[in-house]
Chains A and B, each alone.
Chain A
Amino acid sequence: MATAITPQKRSPWPAVASPSNTPTGSRAVHAPVLTGIDARARHLMPIALEQLVANGPVITDGAWGTELQARGLDPGDIPDLWNLARPEAVAEVAQAYIDAGSQIILTNTFGANRIRLGDHVPASQVPEINRRGVQLSRQAAAGRALVFASIGPTGKLLLTNEVTPETLATAFTEQAQALAEGGADALVIETMADLTEATIALEAAKTTGLPVVACMVFDTGKDKDRTLMGITPEQAARALTEAGADAIGANCGVGIERYVPVCRRLRNATQRPVWIKPNAGCPTVVEGRITYNTSPAEFAAHVPDLRAAGASFIGGCCGTNPRFIQAIAQSLHPTAFEDSTLARRGREGGQAQQGLHEPEDSTGSEAAPR
C-alpha cells in the first residue's frame, strides 16, 4: 500500500481518542474525536487509513446538497459555487456534521471539476473553488475531524464518446491537485457508475500522494447490487484495489439495508478498508417535496449489521443530515453517548431523542446523483 506509514511513524495517529479527551464546551460531540491531526505532521506523511480504522468504524458525514438547500441554495443551483459565493453557509454545514459526531467530514466539491462547472464559471476558477472547499471544511474541523475531499463523476459517458479518457484525466488531475493544495487529508472518489471513469479519477487522485477512497454507487439490477453500468461489488473492489485505492466503498444507492450485503461483498473482495455511505432510502415526492423514507433511528438500526459486514467508515448520502450522524454515533459509541450527551441533554431538558424518530424530508435533491 503506497500510502501506508512505517511502523515507527505510527505514534502521531492513534485511531481514536477516549471520550474524556474530547473537547468540552457547549457543542455536543457524541463520538470520540480522531486525534493527532497535526498540520505539521500531516505534511511529513499522509495519514494511513488502515490505522485510522484499527479500533473500529470511523464516522463520516451525511448529505451536503440538501443541507445547503436548507440554507437557501436554490434547487437546481450548483452547490460547489457556494464555496466562493456563500462560504459561511458551507462552513455551517461542515460545522453541523462535526457537532453531530463526524470524525471525518467531506468537502463541498463533489461537482467541482471543469467538465461539470465549465458552463457556469471560467475554467480558471475551478481550482479556487476546490481549494476553498477544503479550507472551509478544515476551518470548521479545527483539528477535531479529518477532511476527506470529495470528487464526483463528470456526468459524461465515455462509452458514447461524449468525453475522452484524456479529457477526464485532465479534469480529475486538476481537481485533485487543487484539493491537495487546499490541505485535504485524503481524497474520496464518490458516486461512480462507470469503472473506467472511477479508475481514471483514482489514478489522477493518486498523483497527489494522498490516500484515496474510491466508491461506486450500486443501485441497479434485480438485487440493486450493480452500478448503472452493470459493475458488481467484486468487480469494483478488485479493479479499484488493483489500481491503488486505499479504501473501497459504496455510496448513495437505494438505502442502507441494501448496502449491508454490498459491504460484505466488497469486504470479501479486497484487503482494503471498506467505506459505506448509503442514502436514507429512496426519494419519493410528496406534495411536490422530496421525501426520503428512512428516519435517523431506522437508519442507525442497520449500523450494527453494516459493522458486522465489515464497514470501516460509516456515514450517509442523499437524504441524511446531522441527526443521522448523531444516530450513527449513538449506535457505535453508546457509552460515550450516554456518559456525555444524554446526561448533558438531560440537564438541558430531556431533548436527547429529539428528531431521531421523525421522517426526513428535504427539497430538490437529485434523485440519483449521476
Chain B
Amino acid sequence: MQDIKPLYEAILEGREKDAEALTREAVQSGVDPTRIVKEGVIPAMAEAGRRFECTEFFVPDLLLASRAMKAALRILGNATDPLGRVVIGTVKGDLHDIGKNLVAALLEGAGFEVIDLGYNVQPEQFVKAVQDKNANVVALSALLTTTMGSMRLTIDALKQAGIRDRVKVLVGGAPITQKFADEIGADGYGDNAAEAVTVARRCLAV
C-alpha cells in the first residue's frame, strides 16, 4: 500500500509542485484515485479548514493549500461522486471574492463539485447556472453591507424561476448574520469558510 501521507502534507503545507508530483506518482503506481481523494485530498483540506477556523491558518495558508489541492484534483479527475453540486458567487454589485474563493476551495476540498460564477453575479446568472448544471446548492457571498440586499433578490429570482425548492441556499460574508439569513429565507449561514462546509453537509444531509 502506497503511503498517502506525503500528499496529505504537501496539500496542507501548500506545496503545489509536490502535490502534483506525488499525485501523479501515486496514480502511476496503481493507487486507486478514489483512495487518494478520500485519504489524501479531503483530510488535508479538512485539516486546513480546521486550522483556519481556530486561527492557526490565515488566508494565505488556505489559498496555498487550495492551490495544491487543485493541482492534485486536476490529475485525479472525477475520482469520487461529488457530495453535491454547488453554484457559488459573490452577489450583484459586490466585487469582493477572497471570502467566496476560500469557501469554494474548502467545499471542493470536502468533495463537492463547485461551479464558481465569480463576483458581481446577477440573480439571473445564478438561476441559469442552477438550471444548466442541475445544482443542488447555491452559495451566496457579500462583503458590502450595501450588497446584502442582492442576496434577497437572488432568492426571489430562484423562486420566480420555480427552482427555489430544488436547491439549498447558503449565505455568508462579513456583514451577514444568522438573523439576516433567517430574514431572507436562506437555508444555511456559515460564520467562516470552514463552517460553510459543515453547513452545506448538514443542509444536504451528506
If the complex has contacts A157-B98, A160-B101, A367-B174, are A285 and B59 also in contact, measured as CB distance less than 8 A? no
Interface 0/1 of A209-240, CB less than 8 Å to B: 00000000000111000101110000000000
**Contact between A365 and B145 (Cβ–Cβ < 8 Å)?**
yes
Does A19 belong to the interface (CB within 8 Å)?
no
Does B68 belong to the interface (CB within 8 Å)?
no
Interface residues of B (CB under 8 A from A): 54-55, 58-61, 63-64, 93, 95-96, 98, 101, 143-149, 173-175, 177, 180
Task: Give A184 to B61 CA distance when docked, in angstroms.
Answer: 38
Contacts of B64 in A (CB 8 A): 159
State how many angstroms separate the Cβ of B93 from the closest Cβ of chain A: 6
Task: Give A75 to B146 CA distance when docked, in angstroms.
Answer: 6
If the complex has contacts A160-B101, A368-B143, are A283 and B175 also in contact, measured as CB distance less than 8 A? yes
Contacts of B93 in A (CB 8 A): 76
Task: Give A94 to B147 CA distance when docked, in angstroms.
Answer: 27
**Contact between A76 and B144 (Cβ–Cβ < 8 Å)?**
yes
**Contact between B146 and A76 (Cβ–Cβ < 8 Å)?**
yes
**Contact between B144 and A366 (Cβ–Cβ < 8 Å)?**
yes
Residue of A nearest to B101 (CB): A160
Task: Give A157 to B146 CA distance when docked, in angstroms.
Answer: 22
Q: Which interface residue of B54, B93, B144 has the most chain A CB atoms within 10 A?
A: B144
State how many angstroms separate the Cβ of A72 from the closest Cβ of chain B: 15
Contacts of B55 in A (CB 8 A): 220-222, 226
Task: Give A155 to B60 CA distance when docked, in angstroms.
Answer: 15
Contacts of A221 in B (CB 8 A): 55, 58
Contacts of B177 in A (CB 8 A): 284-285
**Contact between A230 and B60 (Cβ–Cβ < 8 Å)?**
yes
If the complex has contacts A159-B63, A367-B174, A367-B175, are A226 and B58 also in contact, measured as CB distance less than 8 A? yes
Task: Give A159 to B98 CA distance when docked, in angstroms.
Answer: 11
**Contact between A229 and B58 (Cβ–Cβ < 8 Å)?**
yes
Contacts of A368 in B (CB 8 A): 143, 174
**Contact between B145 and A283 (Cβ–Cβ < 8 Å)?**
yes
**Contact between B63 and A366 (Cβ–Cβ < 8 Å)?**
no
State how many angstroms separate the Cβ of B153 from the closest Cβ of chain A: 14
State how many angstroms separate the Cβ of A162 from the closest Cβ of chain B: 9
Task: Give A209 to B36 CA distance when docked, in angstroms.
Answer: 56
Contacts of B101 in A (CB 8 A): 160
Task: Give A81 to B180 CA distance when docked, in angstroms.
Answer: 31
Does A261 belong to the interface (CB within 8 Å)?
no
State how many angstroms separate the Cβ of B59 from the closest Cβ of chain A: 5
Task: Give A364 to B64 CA distance when docked, in angstroms.
Answer: 33
Contacts of B59 in A (CB 8 A): 159, 228-230
State how many angstroms separate the Cβ of B61 from the closest Cβ of chain A: 7
**Contact between A285 and B143 (Cβ–Cβ < 8 Å)?**
no
Q: Which interface residue of A226, A284, A285, A288 has the most chain B CB atoms within 10 A?
A: A285
Task: Give A229 to B52 CA distance when docked, in angstroms.
Answer: 11
Q: Which interface residue of B93, B95, B174 has the most chain A CB atoms within 10 A?
A: B174
State how many angstroms separate the Cβ of B66 from the closest Cβ of chain A: 10
Does A204 belong to the interface (CB within 8 Å)?
no
Task: Give A222 to B59 CA distance when docked, in angstroms.
Answer: 14
